[in-house]
């Protein structure tokens, strides 16, 4: 198979975690019946229109609850914020680039956050917590409607 370079119109340039906290109030074990209450925040921080570089932020606030407990059922709280820079190619309009930041950028960061949370919880002496995948098409559609 011949190798050729096919650059994408949208590239991740850099990313970093600007905030992360894991608070465990009650040891999590495999036999617990857990649910998650998640709040997700997304923001386009800046767009440099000349160079077509955009900075975005994705934030997760997650409460992990044990359904077997009647009161004080929160067993853990996870807060994470990730920032990233993305670059668009010259043949992309600013409107298209902004849409790519929302859909492709948020999706990319959500996968990175998901892997980080999974690893961090696994390294914390408990079963790994895997947050669900997010349909960002529906997410932004709901944001627009509300």
Q: Which CATH number covers residue 28?
A: 3.10.420.10
- pLDDT band of residue 127 (cuts 50, 70, 90) is confident
CA distance 114 to 134: 10
Are 136 and 110 a contacting pair, CB within 8 Å? yes
Question: 17: domain range?
Answer: 12-145
CA distance 14 to 10: 13
Residue 3 has a pLDDT of: 54
Beta bridge partners of 116: none
Residue 145 has a pLDDT of: 83
- Residue percentage of the chain with pLDDT more than 70: 95
Six-digit token pair at 133?
């995948």
Extended beta strands in 3-140, E state: 10-24, 34-48, 53-66, 74-88
Residue 6 has a pLDDT of: 54
Does residue 7 lie in a domain region?
no
Are 52 and 10 a contacting pair, CB within 8 Å? no
pLDDT at 50 > cutoff 80: yes
Does residue 116 lie in a domain region?
yes
Does residue 17 lie in a domain region?
yes
Does residue 3 lie in a domain region?
no
Does residue 135 lie in a domain region?
yes
Q: What is the mean pLDDT of residues 95-117?
A: 96
Are 11 and 110 a contacting pair, CB within 8 Å? no
Does residue 1 lie in a domain region?
no
Does residue 5 lie in a domain region?
no
pLDDT one-digit tens code per residue, 64-95 = 988 887 777 888 999 999 999 999 988 899 99
Q: How many domains are contained in the chain?
A: 1
Q: Which is it for the CA torsion 138, 139, 141, 142, positive or negative?
A: positive
Q: Please, what is the angle between helix 106-122 and helix 136-145, to 10°?
A: 120
């Amino acid at each position: 198979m011949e190798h050729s370079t096919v650059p994408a119109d949208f590239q991740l340039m850099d990313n970093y975690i600007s905030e992360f906290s894991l608070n465990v109030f009650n040891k999590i074990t495999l036999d617990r019946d857990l649910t998650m209450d998640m709040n997700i925040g997304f923001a386009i921080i800046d767009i440099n229109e000349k160079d077509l570089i955009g900075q975005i932020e994705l934030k997760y606030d997650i409460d992990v609850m044990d359904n077997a407990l009647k009161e004080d059922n929160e067993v853990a709280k996870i807060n994470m914020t990730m920032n990233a820079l993305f670059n668009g190619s010259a043949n992309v309009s600013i409107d298209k680039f902004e849409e790519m930041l929302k859909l492709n950028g948020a999706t990319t960061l959500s996968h990175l956050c998901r892997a980080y949370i999974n690893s961090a919880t696994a390294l914390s002496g408990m079963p790994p917590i895997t947050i669900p995948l997010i349909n960002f098409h529906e997410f932004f559609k709901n944001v627009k409607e509300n």
